[in-house]
Structure 1
C-alpha cells in the first residue's frame, strides 16, 4: 500500500531511478500510525487520535486500507470520522470500500467507508501485464469489490480505481532487492515466477485501489499548494491550501463510467453512470484538471463558498468555442456535512442542491435523477454540450441544520464526440471510460469566486438570491414546476 502511494526505485537508496513499480506520488512523504496488535489487525483508536497524529506531522491525506464489515451502516465510528473532517476542512480521509461484494452483495460497504465526508474506494480490474487469466481490463469492476448503497440510501463507493491486480513495491528480505533494471528485456508479469527475485509483489483488493486514490489526491493537492493555478506556472504567491471538499469534487468530477462487472466465471453485467456498484465511476486524472500537452480540458473551480439557509448561488458558464463540435460538460458539488447520529436512516443534515439550466430552458438534476437529490452530499451532473453553449448552474440550500454551509464546486468541459446523455441512477451500472493517467502541473482552475477566464470561455462569480418564506410545500411545488421542463438529450 505504501509503495503504491509513494514507492520509488533506487538501487543504492540515494539516487532515484525509473522503476517498473513506482508509486503514484513518488516524492510524497508518509507518516505511519500502527493500528495492529502483534500480528492481529485492526484496532484503530478514536479518529481524533488517529487523524490528529498525522495532521500534526503535516499530513493532510489519510489512507485507510482497512475497515470493518457492518453491512453499510453509519456507525459510531463513522460519526466520529465525519466530526473530525467537519472540524478540519483541509484534511481528507480515504478508505477501502471492502471486498465483500461477491455475488452482487449489496449494502456491503465497510465502516468507516460509510461516513459521509470520506472517499470510499471500490476496485476495478487493472490492465496490461497486471491482468490475470480471462480478466477483461480496467473497464470492469472487480467482482468482490463491496457495493452500496448505505443503509440510509447514499451512493457508495464514491469512486473506483484499479486494484485487481496491481504491481507494487514488495519485500523479499534480500540485500540489494529492487525492481527489475531497465536493461531487462522481459518486463515483470503477474504470471512470472522470476519476479520473486525482485522487490515487486502483486496485490488485489480495495486496499490497493484506496492507495491509488490517496496517491492521486497528493498530486491534486500539490497542484494547488505549488501555485499552478491560475497561471499554469508554479508561482509562490498563487499557492493556497485546498479544502477536502475541493479535492473530492475535482476527483469525482473526473470519474468515467465502466463497461460492467466481470464475475469470476467470466459473466459480465452492465453498469450505469451513477449507481451503488461503481459510485461515480473510475478516476481519470487526465479529466480532472487542465494539463498542458495532456488534455484540452477547461475548468472553473470555486472553493470554500459559504451559503446560508434558503439562499441560491448562480453561476454562468459558457462551453469552449474550439474546434470540437461536441463537449463533455461536467459539474460536481461537494460539501462536508455535519456528523449525524449513528444508525441514522437519513444521515444528510444540510441539504444543498445542484441544478443546471440550458439557454433553451432544459433543466438537469444531479446524480442521474429527475428531481433534487436530498440524500447525498456529493452531486454531479454530466452531459453533452455544443461549443459556445451557455448554461446557468444553481446551488441552493434548504432546511440547514446549521446557520450556513461551505461547499466546493467544480465545472469542466472537454472535447468528446461519444458522450451519451445523463443516465438514471440504478442498482446495476453502463457506459464508456478511459485509461488512468498521471497528472503533471499545468493550466487550470480557481478557488476565488471572482471572474474566471479560461481560454475561450468565461465563468462569473455567483450571484445570491434569498428564497423568502419557502415552506416545504412551496419547495415541492417549485420542484414539480422545474421537473416539467426536463427534456433529455438523445
Structure 2
C-alpha cells in the first residue's frame, strides 16, 4: 500500500508494459493498493488506524507513507496510533519517511539533530532517512546544497557540496534523530537525491526536473521511503518463499533490513570538526543502522550465513531464552540484531519503552557483549505548562518559562519551542538556560546558551510556526527551579504563545527586567534522571551487537524480559557472520532457519537437524 505523495511515491504495476525505455523500480511486480486522501482542500482525514486497516483488509502486508508533520522529533498521538496498530497486527510493516526538516541552524557546518517528523517517531514503524544519490552532474537538480537551500545550509562544507555526488553521504535535508525519549532514529537511510520517479499525468510541478513525459527527477525522504518499501517487499517475498516463514513479523522484517544495512560512517566530510556521521558501530541518529542494502540483507556472500528467529517465544518479566550458534572463524564480523514491536507509549514520556527486553551475547570465553550504543537513561518527562495543543498567539518579546523538575537530580536533555519567522530571514536567536538564583527567584546565572543563526518558517511558510527542538548539554539541576528563555533580536519574528498565564510560569523581558507575562510561551523541557548504572539499553526496542573479529566457538544469545508490564512480549532475532546453528545444549531454542552459500562447499551442504532436547 502506498500513502503519501501520489504524484511521485508509487505507480500502478498492473498498468506497466516494461518497454525498453522504462525504469522498473524496486519491486515492479508487487501488487499495489493506492489510497487517495486529502485530494480536496476541505476533506477530513480519517483516523490513521482506519487508513492502515483499510489497506490491511484489502490484502496489503506493507504500508509506505511519504508524509508527516515537523514537530521536532516529538512522539505524537499519530505515532502512538501507529504503534498500537502494529502491536495489534504484528505481521504488518508500516514505513514512514523521516522528513525533510534537516537544517544547520547554528551555521557550524553540521546539520542539527532532533528534526524527525511524526508519525516517523513511532517505535514500531520503519523510519527512513535519505542518503545522497550517485548522479554528480547533468541530472535533475545539478547544484550544491547552498545553492538550492542557501539559508538552511549556509556554512561549509555543506554549502559547497553537490546534492548527489557522494552515495556514502547523507542528504542535508534528511531529518535527524533522536526522538525526544532518546530512541535512535531514523532506522536506516536510502538514496533520496536526484531520484527518477514516476510522473503523474495530473502533476503540474516539475519537481527537481522533468526527464520525459513519464518520469521526473525528485528528492526527499519521500523518495527514499518508497525505495525502501519496494526493497522490503522483496525481502518479505524472500522470507516467505525461500526461508519458508509463512507470515514474517514486522519485527523480523525490520531486524533483517537493519542487520543488512551498510554502515557509511563517517559520511562525506571526513573525521574532523564537521564530521557528518558518528563513529562505528551503528546505530546513530544520522544514518540509523546504515544505508539500505538488499544484497547484504538476503544474499550472504560465502562464507557468510544468516540465521532467523521470528516471534516463536514470548517473555514475561524475569524470563529468559537462550539461542545458540557457533562462529566458525573470525573471517567475517558477527552481527546480531534483536527487534520487537513494543506496546504503544504515552506522549508525556514521548513514546518511552514499555516492554523492556535485554540482549546479551556470550562468547566462548564467557565474555558478555551488550548492545552497541546502549541508551542507559531512565524515562524522559516532557515538562509543559500550556493548556492547549495549538498556539493562539505570538510574542515579539524575549520569553522564558520557569520549570520545576519532578525529582532531583534532573538532567535537562532537550528544549522544544514554537517560533515564527514570517519573512524567512536570518537573525540570531539564543536558547538560554538560567538557574533561579536571581532576585526574587527570577533568572540568575546562565547554565547554557546556544545561538542559532537561522530558524526556518513552519510547514507551508508564512505565518505557520516552526516547532524546534534543540539538545542541551551539561545542565543538571540538583535543587530548585530553572528557566528556559528564547532570546531574539528581529522585531518581525516571534515566540509562539498561548493566551493566559494561570500558573504564573511564563515571563517576558522588559528592558533588563523580567516580569510575569500575560500569555504562556510554547516552551517545553525534556528532563530525566541521571544515567542508570547498567550495561543494558533502557530506551530502544531495536538492539544490536557487532563484533568485528569474533572469537571462534560456541555463542549464547540470551534474551531476557527485564520489565514487561504489558506482556508477554514476542521478539525477532537475526544473526549474520561465518556461523552455524549447531548446538549440543539440552533444551536449547534453535534458530528456525538459515541460508548458506553452497559455492563454498562445491555445491553440497550437509545440515544436521537437532531437536530442542538435543537428540538428533
Which residues in structure 2 correspond to 1:260-339 (within 5 Å)?
260-261=266-267, 269-272=276-279, 273-290=282-299, 296-304=303-311, 305-320=313-328, 326-339=331-344
Q: Does 1:121 align with 2:128?
A: yes
Q: Which has the higher helix share?
A: 1
Q: 1:390 aligns with which of 554, 572, 576?
A: 554
Unaligned runs of 5+ in 2: 105-110, 144-161, 375-533, 580-588, 597-604
* Residue 262 (structure 2) aligns with: 256
| Residue from 212, 227, 239 that aligns with 1:197 | 212
How far off its partner does 1:368 sit? 2.8
- 1:109 and 2:116 equivalent? yes
Secondary structure, aligned partner of 2:276:
strand
**Is 2:111 the counterpart of 1:97?**
no
1:421 is aligned to none
- Contact 1:4 1:24 survives alignment (8 Å): no
Shift of 1:154: 0.5
TM-score normalised to the size of structure 2? Answer: 0.58
Partner of 2:76: 75
Q: Distance in 2 between matches of 1:299 and 1:170?
A: 38
Of 161, 165, 184 in structure 2, the residue corresponding to residue 155 of structure 1 is 184
Q: Is the 8 A contact 1:297 1:414 kept in 2?
A: yes
Residue 487 of structure 2 corresponds to which residue in structure 1? none
Counterpart contact for 2:361–2:558, Cα < 8 Å: yes
Q: Which residue of 2 aligns with 1:36?
A: 38
CA contact (8 A) 1:9 1:16 kept: no
- Specify the SS of the correspondent of 2:63: strand
Please state whether the residue corresponding to 1:331 is helix, strand or coil.
Answer: strand
Rounded Cα–Cα distance in structure 2 between residues aligned with 1:64 and 1:121: 10
Equivalent residue number for residue 141 of structure 1: 170
Report the counterpart of residue 488 of structure 1 in structure 2.
Answer: none
Distance 1:277 1:125 in 2: 13
Shift of residue 362 of structure 1?
Answer: 2.6
Q: Structure 1, residues 457-482: CA drift from partner, whole Å, max 9, x if none? A: 9897889xxxxxxxxxxxxxxxxxxx
Change (3 A) 1:9 1:453: closer
When the two structures are superposed, what TM-score results if normalisation uses the length of structure 1? 0.72
CA apart distance, 1:34: 2.0
- RMSD between aligned residues: 3.3
> Is 1:374 aligned to 2:538, yes or no?
yes
Distance 1:460 1:283, change over 3 A: farther
Q: Distance in 1 between the 2:324 and 2:8 partners?
A: 40
2:226 to 211, 221, 229: 211
Counterpart-to-counterpart distance in 2, 1:462 and 1:75: 43
- What secondary structure sits across from 1:373 in the alignment? coil
The answer for the alignment partner of 1:363 in structure 2 is 368
Unaligned runs of 5+ in 1: 175-189, 230-237, 416-446, 464-490
Q: State the secondary structure of the residue aligned to 2:127.
A: strand
Shift of 1:201: 0.7
- Between Structure 1 and Structure 2, whose CA radius of gyration is higher? 2
Q: Deviations over 1:275-300 (max 9, x none)?
A: 11111111111111236xx6653111
Tell me if structure 1 keeps the 8 A contact 2:18–2:24. Answer: no
Shift of the 15–197 alpha-carbon distance from structure 1 to 2, 3 Å rule, reads closer
How many Å apart are 1:261 and its aligned residue?
4.8
Distance 1:462 1:335, change over 3 A: farther
Q: What is the rounded CA distance, in whole Å, between the counterparts of 1:310 and 1:155 in structure 2? A: 25
Look up the SS of the partner of 1:23 in the other structure. coil
Q: CA deviation at 1:209?
A: 0.6
Does structure 1 retain, via aligned residues, the 8 Å contact 2:192–2:223?
Answer: yes
- C-alpha change, 1:22 and 1:461, in structure 2 (3 Å) is farther
* 1:136, distance to aligned residue in structure 2 (A): 3.5
1:349 paired to 2:354:
yes
Change (3 A) 1:327 1:255: same
**Contact 1:107 1:147 (C-alpha < 8 Å) held by counterparts:** yes
Q: Secondary structure at the match of 1:161?
A: strand
How far apart are 1:406 and its partner, in Å? 0.5
Following TM superposition, by how much is the alpha carbon of 1:146 offset from its aligned partner in structure 2, in angstroms?
0.6
Give how far 1:121 is off: 0.7
Quick check: 2:10–2:198 contact (8 Å CA) kept in 1? Answer: no
Evaluate the alpha carbon distance shift between residue 32 and residue 297 of structure 1 in structure 2; reply closer, same or farther with a 3 A threshold: same
Task: Report the more deviating stretch, 79-88 or 355-364.
Answer: 355-364
Match of 1:16 among 10, 18, 21: 18
Deviations 1:387-445, CA, capped at 9 Å, x for gaps: 85432211111121123100000111169xxxxxxxxxxxxxxxxxxxxxxxxxxxxxx
1:407 and 2:554 matched: no
Bigger Cα displacement from structure 2, 296-305 vs 202-211 = 296-305
* Alpha carbons 2:10, 2:226 under 8 Å: kept: no
1:179 aligns with: none
The offset of 1:172, in angstroms, is 5.7
